[in-house]
Amino acid sequence: MTELADTAVGTHDAAEPFAVGITVRGYETDTQGHLNQSVYLQYAEHARWSLLQASGIRQSTMVDRRIGPVTVETTIRYRRELRAGDEVEVSCAFVWGEGKTFRIEQTVRTTDGTVAAEVSAVCGLLDLTARKLLADPRAAFRELADDPSLLGLTAG
């Protein structure tokens, strides 16, 4: 594991998982008829941005403030195949430690509760001008969010 990833392993604050529903579309499947591996990342990204939006953080606000989320490492564990028409729920929970990075833990689950995939990412907030990670992403998210509790953060 990288040095950056090691700084995010703590679980000082964690929210209950936020989730979004998605229907697997036929054009997202491969020649074997199951969901293409790259689409799992798109589903995870969709859930992440949906969570940020639910917490009150707009992408345009982040751009205006010259900061943006970045992923420095992603692990996907495939558990069960998904096929066109399957209904899934993609959860998303921020897990905070100390330092410049944090984890986002996600589960792709079918409607019967079967885990299809687990996605774990080490992320940070990038200063878009300096091109460096912010020293305290928790403070930045608290400042931006209307409801930081959705991100596993307490107010102030």
Residue 154: predicted pLDDT? 84
10-residue mean pLDDT series, the chain (156 residues): 35 64 97 96 97 97 97 97 98 95 98 97 98 97 96 82
Residue 1: predicted pLDDT? 31
| pTM of full prediction above 0.75 | yes
Question: 42-74 in b/e burial notation, b at 16+ Cβ within 10 A?
Answer: ebbbebbbebbebbebeeeebeeeebebeebee
